[in-house]
Every structure is written in C-alpha cells, then in structure tokens.
Amino acid sequence: MLGLILMALMLQGPRNIQLEGGPKPPIVIEKGTVIPVELTRTLSTKNIKEGDNVFARTVFPISVNNQIAIPVGTDVLGVIKEVQRPGRVKGKASLTLSFQMMTLPGGIKMPIYASLGGSDTGNREGEATIQGDSSKGKDIGNIAKAGATGGVLGGVLAGKKGAAIGGGGSATVALAGVLLSRGEDLTLEKGTTIEIVLDEQLEI
C-alpha cells in the first residue's frame, strides 16, 4: 500500500512549495497619482539659481488597496531647472521645478518622475513651471498716483500752469523709476503646498 502511495506522488511530478514569510509583491502607485507636498524651505527668484535643491515633504498619505504606500512626512527632493526673474515694465517671474527623489521611512530612496500639478502660490505654466503675477497694473497705478500728487503740489505753488508742470514732471520721474526697476519676484514661502503628478508608475 505504501509503495502505491509513493508511486502516485512520483507520477504527479515536482510541486512548487511557497513558504510563508517570503518576499511580498511590490505596491504599485499608478501613473497620474497626485502627491501633495509642502516646501520645507523658502524659494525666491530673487536669490535662487539653477541647480539649487528643492526640499519638500508629503502632507497627505498615499494609499493603495487600503495600505499606506507613502506616509505623511516622506521627504521629497527636487532641483531648480530654470529661474526667470521679472523683467522691466513687463514680464513675470517664474521657477521651473523638477522633483526627482523620494526618501521612504527607513531611508529607502526611490527615484520619481513627476510633473507639476499645481501650487497654492503663483500660477502653473506648462508641466513644471510656477509663474508669478504681473506688476504692470501696479506700476501704472504708481505713475498715475505720482502724477496726481505732483499736480496738486504744482497747483498750490503756481496755479494751473504749475499744476500741469508738476503733474507731468512727477509722472516722468515715476515712469523712469518703473523702467529702471524690476517687477515683483516670485516667492514660494516655506509651507507652500505643491501638487506633483507621477509621470510613471512607482513600485515600492
């Protein structure tokens, strides 16, 4: 009887035996997943340059099948790809960011490929650029205000003719000041929330 049992087992061929506690399949975070992060250092077009690092951390857990894959506080490292300072009279400041590395709990570093989803400061421009607001309207307001102030002062000193001269002179000075000065720099304060979107799936 025992011989028949052994023979039957041999005829069944080899078996794949899986032991408990073996390697687990990776958690896959799909392409297109939005990961909100916050800056841990301030960025400004006034003093930052191309190649400088960008430091951030996640502010919302990313879960897959009810399992947390990326916990809150995960460090994310990026780099400044381009800095555009505001121009004179027109032109907006902008920063082009690239997030490239994520450090998971335990110190595991994972390369990431991601685009910019949005920011609570500035405006998204293209796939990786945050653009500041234009100061053109503010500059024009300053010119008009300076002209009006000069006109009042000129009128007090020399009547209507003085008002015209005073207004025109002050407006000219204000215009010269605008032409010689830059617009407003873009500043992303520490704590600014930025959304990054995975361009490729991430396996953890």
Coil, strand, or helix at residue 13? coil
pLDDT tens for 114-149 read: 999 889 888 988 889 999 886 555 555 554 554 554
- The 8 Å CB, 24+ separation contacts for 123-126 are 125/94, 126/96
Tokens of 11: 């005829």
Q: Which of 125, 140, 115 is nearest to 200 (CA)?
A: 115
pTM score over 0.75: no
Q: Identify the pLDDT of residue 171.
A: 47
Q: Is the pLDDT of residue 154 over 90?
A: no
* DSSP classification of residue 118: E
Task: Measure Cα distances from 85 to 5, 19, 20, 91, 142 in Å.
Answer: 83, 60, 58, 8, 21
In this prediction, residue 173 has a pLDDT band, given cuts at 50, 70 and 90, of very low
d(CA 74, CA 196): 14
Kindly tell me the sign of the dihedral angle through the C-alpha atoms of 29, 32, 34, 40: positive
* DSSP classification of residue 88: B
Give the pLDDT mean for 80-87: 91
